[in-house]
Structure 1
Amino acid sequence: MNVFERLESNVRAYCRAYPAVFDKASNARQWDENGVEFIDFFAGAGVLNYGHNNERQRQAIIDYMQADGVTHSLDLHTTAKRTFIERFEDIILKPRNLEYKLQFTGPTGTNVVEAALKLARKVTGRSTVAAFTNGFHGMTLGALAVTGNAHYRNVSGVALNDVLRLPFEGYAGTGVGSLDMIRQTLADSSSGVEAPAAFLVETVQAEGGVNVAGKEWLQALQALAKEYGALFIIDDIQLGNGRTGHFFSWEDMGLDPDLVCLAKGIGGFGTPMGLLLIRPELDQWSPGDHTGTFRGQNLSFVAGSEALAYYENDDFLKSVQEKGRYMEERLNNIVANHKKLNFEVRGRGMMQGLDTHSPAIAKKIMAAAAKQRVIVGACGTDGRVIKACPPLTIEQETLERGLDLLEAAVNEGVTQ
């Protein structure tokens, strides 16, 4: 461990909660270099939706590399990219009657958001973007500007402007009524507030505390965007790729977003990929308007193409929905066992959060989780929410064991 302390930057964060040196991993399990097993309920913050070292994806990558497949290609055409595009169209877009152009950005979620913001401003000629309380969209300056977290924003060292910050559903009331003030302000020519280039929203704010927006609120927000000529952008970077029991988190809500941000799990194997879905009439880029060295991640195309096989029928998503219901039930049982603490469960599918309403208690639970050897994340205001998002492929037995360990960690944390 000394080499990390001695040479790695102080900026490292997750390893402080889990001070182990991990050596091997398979699906939802990891082992440190001493052979101690951990259950992974974090999945790389939603990157590893199909588990560590997914056998199908691993073999596809090995076969591709052994055949001398192109690994880096900027945005040159490759067979691996063509295969991914064709499979994405056939398996994801066509069955859902969706029509989007695909833009491969730099390989991180924040770069996808940057591209979306730039395109929205280019298309509308406006500069301001409407974003929401507790939203998280990335750490580069444009994406950071639309992120709510004060700590991350303050570290930037520069002004983060051109953002209209609005209350997410539940922040200042629930239901579509919470949007009435926004509509009234935009309709008033003396309000001093001009229509934004876009409304950028997560259907579930994963890093913001697993805050869930309702169908009616999202539909009303989309209608508001269209009413004022703004683009409706959904950041599906952490909640997409099957996490909610649907490939897109919004597809069962009657929504038709102009732009969709995908990353994390879209590469499938922990290999990075950023993908922006663009309504065809909005693809108003000129060549090279948004470029980057790593837009041609062919190993990600190979792994991602194999991941799409999970969506060729309904079986996989049905299993995600069933596991999500089981997770919610188990977490609600934990809440029932600690009624005096007023814990709360929120989430959709296999993204579930336990809101302790107390950063101090959450910190104790996180410490206990490390001892119990279940990997979870802390999120929300001051880290008060314990977030559980295991690989979607987790075996039922491992899921149950992980929830047993998490329950033990909660019991230990609240008694300290």
Structure 2
Amino acid sequence: MKMFTDVQTVSIDVFDRYESDVRSYIRSFPTVFHRAKDYHLWDVDGTMYIDFFAGAGALNYGHNNEVLKRALLEYLSEDGITHGLDMGTKAKGEFLEAFQQIILEPRGLSYKVMFPGPTGTNSVESALKLARKVTGRSTIISFTNAFHGMTLGSLSVTGNRFKRKGAGIPLSNTFSVPYDSQENGIDGIALLRRMLDDSGSGLDLPAAIIVETVQGEGGINVASLKWLKQLETLCRARDILLILDDVQMGCGRTGPFFSFESAGITPDIVCLSKSISGYGLPMALTLFRPELDVWNPGEHNGTFRGHNPAFVTGTQALKQYWTNQKLTDQTEQHGRTIEGYLSDIVESMPTLRGKVRGRGMAYGMECGVPGLAEEISHAAFERGLIVETSGAQSEVVKLLPPLTIDEVGLKRGLSILADSAKAVAPI
């Protein structure tokens, strides 16, 4: 029998031999990464990359953030609880107190906190279930180009045809309308209002409307603050629950902690995940108004909803970055820098047929030439920059740098992106 021997080096071929064909990001970034720090990644060959991907928004505070790492190592060294289901632990209690005192109370928000499981789609699934349980209605309204997760409930309110097809069954009890007048000039809210008023429209009064303030996977589509306010007004007038999916755009990605703060709205239910642990550890929250807490004990549960190391780093992230305005101010300043660079690229290279859009440090450059955004991403990788694409046809170069990146690193990455666009732009 062949004995196992220690592997000194890992070849990228191992993933092709043993891992499912469902893998995706490795196809865009074909190397074997080995180390990471702040906004840098290194592969096994020692090649260094600037990271404008940040774990798809799960690493807002960078890789192996030193402050968070010290707290995590100290906790582990003391044999702190790792797995606790939904039992009471010191780590969870400290997180709940910090979240209440640092995030909710200063914003005048009164939410119960639910730990639905380790990922964003767990948060969305619990939000949909709760909305239906509270209202006794089944329909959920979502928007074109939305992305809310890959489990069946979350997929039912996701717009991408390719991802929806993976469900293998019809996705029902949902209805989709255009997002913020960006589709053929159609006003989605006006359309929805008319359909709700028309007894012959075939649309029953929904349990909830689920929305992203900025559609990340959908192509960095930005809802105006006015539109978001109109949406809240519609929900209040019709007794429809408003679910805000802040999985990717929350935790400071657009500037404030919650992406909806600037619009002056208060959702009934909020979904958080990705950077809520601060360290890239699995963690998700579902927040909802106290009167909506109609769950029976154990009615929604999950084995890994109590990941205590994530509570430790999440608490430390709140204390480190959200007791003052410094990170928000820096994020907004970096956002202006990103917008300036992208605008210069689009203006200086008209053959890209580009458009720039974003908020805070979530920005996108749409390319009007099919396949060009992916070419730019590939060219950037060859030059030492990790940047992904998004949109229904992968037509948008999507920038999600760590919020903590310094100005030197940000401008260096943006310069690489400009060089990459120049290298592949049609003549």
The TM-score range, normalised by the shorter chain, is over 0.9
Query: Given the alignment of the two structures, is residue 400 of structure 1 paired with residue 383 of structure 2, yes or no?
Result: no
Query: How far has the Cα of 1:130 moved from its partner?
Result: 0.0
Query: Given the alignment of the two structures, is residue 3 of structure 1 paired with residue 14 of structure 2, yes or no?
Result: yes
Query: Given the alignment of the two structures, is residue 13 of structure 1 paired with residue 24 of structure 2, yes or no?
Result: yes
Aligned positions of 1:225-304 closer than 5 A:
225-304=235-314
Partner of 2:225: 215
The AA in structure 1 aligned to 2:406 is: E
Query: How far has the Cα of 1:345 moved from its partner?
Result: 0.5
| Distance in 2 separating the partners of 1:411 and 1:334 | 8
Partner of 1:371: 382
Aligned positions of 1:60-139 closer than 5 A:
60-139=71-150
Query: How far has the Cα of 1:174 moved from its partner?
Result: 5.7
Kept in 2, the 8 Å contact 1:364–1:414? The answer is: no
The AA in structure 2 aligned to 1:234 is: L
Which of residues 170, 180, 194 in structure 2 aligns to 1:169? 180
SS of alignment partner, residue 261 of structure 2 = coil
Kept in 1, the 8 Å contact 2:116–2:284? The answer is: yes
| Distance in 1 separating the partners of 2:50 and 2:90 | 37
The AA in structure 2 aligned to 1:359 is: P
TM-score by structure 1 length? 0.98
| Distance in 2 separating the partners of 1:145 and 1:180 | 23
Q: CA deviation digits over 1:229-262, x for unaligned, max 9?
A: 1100100000000001110001121101000000
SS of alignment partner, residue 402 of structure 1 = helix
Partner of 1:353: 364
Query: How far has the Cα of 1:154 moved from its partner?
Result: 0.6
Kept in 1, the 8 Å contact 2:51–2:387? The answer is: yes
| Distance in 2 separating the partners of 1:212 and 1:384 | 16
Aligned positions of 1:339-350 closer than 5 A:
339-350=350-361
Query: How far has the Cα of 1:44 moved from its partner?
Result: 0.4
Q: CA deviation digits over 1:346-369, x for unaligned, max 9?
A: 100000000002332112112211
The AA in structure 2 aligned to 1:68 is: D
SS of alignment partner, residue 252 of structure 1 = helix
Query: How far has the Cα of 1:70 moved from its partner?
Result: 0.5
Query: Given the alignment of the two structures, is residue 328 of structure 1 paired with residue 328 of structure 2, yes or no?
Result: no
| Distance in 1 separating the partners of 2:389 and 2:133 | 36
Which of residues 205, 216, 219 in structure 2 aligns to 1:195? 205
Kept in 1, the 8 Å contact 2:118–2:283? The answer is: yes
Kept in 1, the 8 Å contact 2:65–2:279? The answer is: yes
Query: How far has the Cα of 1:101 moved from its partner?
Result: 0.3
| Distance in 1 separating the partners of 2:180 and 2:317 | 33
SS of alignment partner, residue 280 of structure 2 = coil
Q: CA deviation digits over 1:325-364, x for unaligned, max 9?
A: 1111111111111124330001000000000023321121
Extract unaligned runs of 5+ from structure 1.
none
Q: CA separation of 1:174/1:349 partners in 2, compared to 1, >3 Å: closer, same or farther?
A: farther
The AA in structure 2 aligned to 1:235 is: D
Kept in 2, the 8 Å contact 1:50–1:393? The answer is: yes
SS of alignment partner, residue 60 of structure 1 = helix
Kept in 2, the 8 Å contact 1:133–1:171? The answer is: no
| Distance in 2 separating the partners of 1:383 and 1:201 | 21
Q: Percent of pairs identical after alignment?
A: 49
The AA in structure 1 aligned to 2:249 is: L
SS of alignment partner, residue 271 of structure 2 = strand
Question: Which is worse superposed, 236-245 or 181-190?
Answer: 181-190
Q: CA separation of 1:79/1:326 partners in 2, compared to 1, >3 Å: closer, same or farther?
A: same
Query: How far has the Cα of 1:171 moved from its partner?
Result: 2.9
The AA in structure 2 aligned to 1:103 is: M
Count of residue pairs brought into register by the alignment: 415
The AA in structure 1 aligned to 2:211 is: V
Query: How far has the Cα of 1:170 moved from its partner?
Result: 3.1
Aligned alpha-carbon RMSD (Å): 1.2
